[in-house]
Amino acid sequence: MLDILARHGIAAHFFVLGKHLGSDEGRHLVERARDEGHLIGNHSFTHAVPLGEDARPDAVEEEIAATDALLSPLVPPPKRFRPFGGGGRLGPHLLNQRAVDHLIAHGYSCVLWNSVPGDWLDPEGWPEKALADCVTRPHTLLVLHDIPNACLQGLDGFLHKARALGLRFTTACPPDCVPIVDGRVMGDLGGLVATGSH
Tell me which residues touch Zn ion (CB under 5 A).
84
With contact defined as beta carbons under 8 Å apart, do 52 and 62 qualify?
no
Reduced DSSP (H G I as helix, E B as strand, rest coil) percent helix, strand, coil of the chain, to 5? 40, 10, 50
**15/38 Cα distance (integer angstroms):** 10
Which of residues 8 and 114 has its CB atom nearest to Zn ion in the complex?
Answer: 114
Which of residues 6 and 53 has its CB atom nearest to Zn ion in the complex?
Answer: 53
Identify the helix (H) or strand (E) that includes residue 185.
strand 184-185
Which of residues 6 and 26 has its CB atom nearest to Zn ion in the complex?
Answer: 26
**What is the closest distance, in whole angstroms, from the C-beta atom of residue 86 to Zn ion in the complex?**
9
**What is the closest distance, in whole angstroms, from the C-beta atom of residue 166 to Zn ion in the complex?**
30
Q: Cβ-closest residue to Zn ion?
A: 84
Which of residues 81 and 84 has its CB atom nearest to Zn ion in the complex?
Answer: 84
Q: What is the DSSP letter of 41?
A: E
**What is the closest distance, in whole angstroms, from the C-beta atom of residue 174 to Zn ion in the complex?**
19
Which of residues 113 and 161 has its CB atom nearest to Zn ion in the complex?
Answer: 113
**What is the closest distance, in whole angstroms, from the C-beta atom of residue 32 to Zn ion in the complex?**
20
**69/97 Cα distance (integer angstroms):** 21
In b/e form, how buried is each residue of 63-90, taking b as 16+ CB within 10 angstroms? bbebbbebbeebbeeebbbbbbbeeeee
End-to-end CA distance of the chain: 38
**What is the closest distance, in whole angstroms, from the C-beta atom of residue 29 to Zn ion in the complex?**
16
